[in-house]
Amino acid sequence: MYSKNLQPIYIVGPTATGKSELALKLAEKFDGVVISADSMQIYRGLDIGTAKVSKAVMREIPHKMIDIVNVDEEFSVAEYARLARIEIENAQEAGKLPIVVGGTGLYFEALIFPMSFAGTLKNDELRDYLAYFCALNGAQALHNMLEFFDEESANRLNVNDVKRVVRALEIVLTTGKPMSKSGDKMHKDPQSVTMIGLTCDRELLYKRINERVDRMFDEGLSDEVLSVGNFDYQSMQAIGYKEFKQLQFDIIDGKKVPNSASLQQIKQLIKQHTRNYAKRQLTWFRRYKFVKWFDISDLNGALEYAENVVYNKS
């Protein structure tokens, strides 16, 4: 038998590597709770572009941190960490295995290293990531992140002063000094973290990404995006949604319809942006020396590894 106070198993990796599939297999085997660490699956109504599992699956296996805010609401790293910790504790108290799965690096960082990011990334790479994060999510989301890690600097800096906000984040995430006086019961020695990473050959990964985007369009991604329509929302700044801002329309029989050529251009742009994002995800998660990496062709190996952890180290 295994301990009822089960420590979380984290599943990470680039998009389209089958993380959700592995999480479901683990949840079935250990009566687990799947806790999403995806910065877009939090939004209600954004189902296709975020690759959420079906409602039927969610009825069979508990899923948390999905559909918790409306598309017109903002959401911070701090709020994610607070709510996700509650879900982890609730699962543990119920004797269930918490399975945290997703590709949003900052969400994992806030859960595993809430005291600091010290020494986890070279400054140039970190600055590049923060700039990319701002481009994807907007200046307000970047400022919200600074507020989580360094509230004093956030109160001093204007949300639109992106250069100084990035610099402040670079300092606190590299040195950890602004967080050094605070305590956090969720802080763990990285050696105690069980994290499974999924990866595959780059050519195969890109093929899977391209096929996923094609499926999203077949399932009605354009209708999902246009039903929201307001590209000023934080939720609309993400890959798979922001590209539609440049969509062109035709007037047919007095009705406004998307231009087919424009849709194809947007589809290709989403594929390109997603491939670039996948590379950045790999860069982020490969910083963690405690990740046990598995090729996507070896999900059974990942399951066996998790089983060994649950039965022997819980």
* Whole-number Å distance between alpha carbons of 259 and 299: 41
Q: Which DSSP letter does residue 160 get?
A: T
Q: Mean pLDDT lowest for which of 130-134, 207-211, 220-224?
A: 130-134
pTM of the model: 0.77
Q: Where are the domains of the chain?
A: 115-183, 202-275
198 forms bridges with which residues in the sheet?
294
The pLDDT value recorded for residue 313 is 54
> Quick one: pLDDT at residue 13?
97
Exposed/middle/buried for residue 218 (C-beta within 10 Å: 0-12, 13-18, 19+): exposed
- In 101-161, which ranges are continuous DSSP H helix? 105-112, 123-137, 139-149, 151-156
Q: Is the pLDDT of residue 183 over 60?
A: no
> Measured between alpha carbons, how far is 301 from 291 in angstroms, rounded to an integer?
14
Q: What are phi and psi of 195, to 5 degrees?
A: -130, 125
Query: pLDDT at position 2, please?
Result: 45
* Percent of the chain with pLDDT strictly greater than 90: 60
How high is the pLDDT of residue 115? Answer: 46
Mean pLDDT across 79-89: 93
1-5, 168-172, 280-284: range with lowest mean pLDDT: 1-5
- The whole-number pLDDT of residue 147 equals 86
Among 59-63, 168-172, 245-249, 256-260, the minimum mean pLDDT is found in: 168-172
Nearest-angstrom CA–CA distance, 289 and 237: 31
- Residue 35, helix vs strand vs coil: strand
How far from 5 is each of 19, 61, 85, 192, 291, CA to CA, in Å? 24, 19, 14, 14, 22
pLDDT value, residue 120:
38
- For residue 295, with 0-12 CB atoms within 10 Å meaning exposed, 13-18 middle and 19 or more buried, which class applies? middle
Determine whether domain 115-183 maps to CATH 1.10.20.140: yes
Q: What pLDDT is attached to residue 282?
A: 92
Binned at pLDDT 50, 70 and 90, residue 129 comes out as: confident
- pLDDT over 60 at 177, yes or no: yes
What was the pLDDT predicted at 256? 87
pLDDT digits (tens, 9 = 90+) for 256-311: 889 999 999 999 999 999 999 999 999 889 988 899 999 999 999 999 999 999 88
Tell me the pairing of strands 255-258 and 249-252. Answer: antiparallel
